[in-house]
Amino acid sequence: MPITPDQQAEIDAQRSEAHQTLRATSPGMEKHLYQAHEVLDHGLIRVIDYMGDDNAITQAARVSYGKGTKKVSNDTGLIRYLMRHWHSTPFEMCEVKFHVKLPVFVARQWIRHRTANVNEYSARYSILDREFYIPEPDQLAAQSTINNQGRGETLEGKEAQAVLDMLRDDATRSYDHYEEMLSDDGKKGLARELARMNLPANVYTQWYWKVDLHNLFHFLRLRADAHAQYEIRVYAEKMCEITADWVPAAYGAFEDYRLGGANLSAKGIDAIKRMIKGEDMDAEKAGMSAGEWRELLGVLG
């Protein structure tokens, strides 16, 4: 389980406390505060703190643009205008701090998003738990033959079981050696900062990750996408649910223009115009590579 009974008791105690404040709060986000949402086999994500709501976005935009926003009749319309025209700074007025428990290999992919504040559990000072990510059988897949970053056909039967056994056995053996190196039973144990080097990439780590809404949307646009790696996508999808409760108007605009929208090149727009006129188009006529043409057709369904 991602959380122990003691941790759940701590969460319940945190959620039982109420604090009076004059600052704006989001009812949708309040229900998520401290609540642990389980992800993968031992992972979790929970909101530790947040600042701002939909009103904070429009407030900042009206300060920035002054009289220009008087033509916008409602906040939702203004937020959609900001999203549609890539005006990012008003969304930066909202921030959220997550506590995330995740496998190390997911963390190393996640940390590529460098527009956040991060503080990670230190294996130099503390001992990591004996928890490893072992995929569900339906997530075991062969390497894709057309995408160097993706998965192909799902492994089944003996092949899948062999992989699961190797993952579990290797992780267990590595952690056994980790504990043995740390041991001071009759001899000096190896320093924690050295002993950790032998741990596998599927061991779990934890961090606090604080980010503004603009950069959170950028993270979600990439990691909640259907082409993202499953193990990071499930975290992003849970964060989408939380964000939708936190800033419903902003998330609705994001979902419409970013998650559900598409960016088209000048060649792509020209090809669509020619197809509308009845012209029979292909990659060569459009002046596109095979990959570009395939992606355009995917957008058009």
Q: Which residues are catalytic?
A: 223
Q: State how far the Cα of 152 lies from the Cα of 221, in Å rounded to an integer.
A: 23
Q: Residue 270: name the closest of 288, 290, 289, 295 by CA.
A: 288
DSSP string across 216-229: HHHHHHHHSSTTS-
Burial class (CB within 10 angstroms; exposed 0-12, middle 13-18, buried 19+) of 266: exposed
Q: State how far the Cα of 81 lies from the Cα of 40, in Å rounded to an integer.
A: 36
Q: State how far the Cα of 37 lies from the Cα of 31, in Å rounded to an integer.
A: 12
Judge whether 106 and 60 are in contact, CB under 8 Å: no
Helix, strand, coil percentages (3-state) for the chain, rounded to 5, are: 50, 15, 35
